[in-house]
């Protein structure tokens, strides 16, 4: 369980929300999710699930916010990071209206400020500051 009591595995796979699909279980050679709970998974399995999660989050993000497709790769990765961290349901247009409006207008200064004016920023502190700076600059900043 993570710090919020959510069942997770690998690199943050939320088992309560997303679970593990039949195809994923087959790929990992497990007959049921109960075997995952009892036996755990390998590093290769964790990477496989993480790749699937990133692909799903990318698709959900673009579907929910079409302006993401027009952003450069650094800003897209920032939003994927945020959506992966919060979940696409909490990274919704209502709560992030000003940020996504700013992104649609290529106003990265406002988008950066809106990122920091959020519960997410108060919870993630250093990470949110780094991602906000990256949003403003459009460049990758190492930790």
DSSP letter for each residue of 125-141: THHHHHHHHHHHHTS--
Q: What was the pLDDT predicted at 107?
A: 97
pLDDT tens across the length of the chain (143 residues)? 887 788 899 988 888 888 999 999 999 999 999 999 899 999 999 999 999 998 998 998 999 888 999 999 999 999 999 998 888 778 877 889 999 999 999 999 999 999 999 999 999 999 999 999 999 999 999 87
What residue spans of 40-143 are helical by DSSP H?
43-64, 73-86, 97-104, 108-116, 119-124, 126-137
Single pTM value for the model: 0.80
Distance CA 25, CA 55 (A): 17
Q: What single-letter DSSP state applies at residue 124?
A: H
């Amino acid at each position: 369980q993570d710090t919020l009591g959510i069942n997770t595995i690998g690199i943050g796979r939320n088992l309560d929300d997303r679970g593990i699909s039949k195809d994923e279980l087959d790929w990992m050679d497990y007959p049921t999710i109960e075997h995952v709970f009892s036996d755990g998974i390998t590093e290769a399995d964790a990477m496989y699930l993480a790749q699937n999660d990133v692909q799903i989050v990318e698709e959900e993000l673009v579907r929910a916010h079409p302006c993401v497709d027009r952003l450069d790769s650094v800003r897209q990765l920032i939003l994927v990071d945020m959506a992966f961290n919060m979940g696409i349901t909490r990274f919704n247009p209502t709560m992030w209206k000003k940020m996504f409006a700013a992104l649609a207008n290529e106003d990265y200064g406002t988008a950066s400020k809106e990122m920091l004016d959020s519960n997410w920023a108060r919870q993630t502190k250093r990470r949110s500051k780094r991602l906000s700076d990256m949003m403003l600059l459009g460049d990758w900043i190492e930790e």
